[in-house]
Homo-oligomer: A and B are copies of this chain.
Amino acid sequence: MPTDAKAPARARAADELKQAALEQFASVGFAATSLQHIADHAGYSKSSVLYHYASKEALLESAIEPAVSQFEEVLEDYLAGRDPVRRRRLVDRVIDLMLVHREAVHVFLIQGPSLAELPIIARADAAVRRLAAAICDERESVEDQVRFGVALGGAAFLLTAGRTFADDRAQPSDDELRAALHTVLPELLAPPAATRTADAE
């Protein structure tokens, strides 16, 4: 009888499995992660995984759905009334969401194309596309699209795969990463003319 585990035994096991699955999906990929690995990593049997989740795909959906929903919320909030101030706030909130949900972001952004048949991935893809349209706005020059793609993919890479390439020296803390991203990404995305005004803050 664990103390803090007053928590409904049901939800606890499900959460542990979900967390273990998310970590594995993000670090080695959905296809390369077996139910057995997830079970071992969480301290349960493979059968238990399939007791709590109907299938491997259902487990993926449970793991990343909250992240997708929050991205959709933030996006809807911006689309409700778009203006430069809200646009900047959109960028800031997306950065924060990516930090919190980095594993989920890795799954639906980086691994997305190979999982396109899953409904939850399709939902995430649609949201990303709307985000792209929102950020690039009416300007549809190739350069603007490239700026958006680099910013989005670059942040996703940095927060997951990219960490591997800097492990010899100390890892920057999340706070340091957040601060740097809040500086670099708006600078990258801002219409060149607006850079200085945005700086003035």
Contacts and interface: CB of A to CB of B under 8 A. Distances in A.
Interface of A: 27-29, 31-32, 109-114, 116, 125, 128-129, 132, 140, 142-143, 145-147, 149-158, 160-162, 164-166, 168-169, 172, 176-177, 179-181, 183-185, 188
Contacts of A143: 179-180, 183-184
Contacts of A188: 150, 184, 188
A150 B158 contact: yes
B114 A32 contact: yes
State the oligomeric state as a number of copies: 2
B129 A165 contact: yes
A153 B158 contact: yes
Contact of A112 (B113, B140, B164): B164
A109 B161 contact: yes
B125 A164 contact: yes
A140 to B, nearest CB: 8
Given A150-B155, A153-B154, A172-B145, A161 B29 contact: no
Contact of A147 (B146, B152, B157, B184): B184
Contacts of A153: 153-158, 161-162
Q: Please name the 5 residue pairs, one residue from A and one from B, whose CB atoms are nearest each other, closest first.
A: A153-B157, A154-B154, A150-B154, A31-B32, A149-B158
8 contacts: A27-B113, A29-B32, A125-B165, A129-B168, A142-B179, A146-B184, A150-B150, A188-B188
Given A146-B177, A147-B184, A184-B143, A114 B28 contact: yes
A155 to B, nearest CB: 6
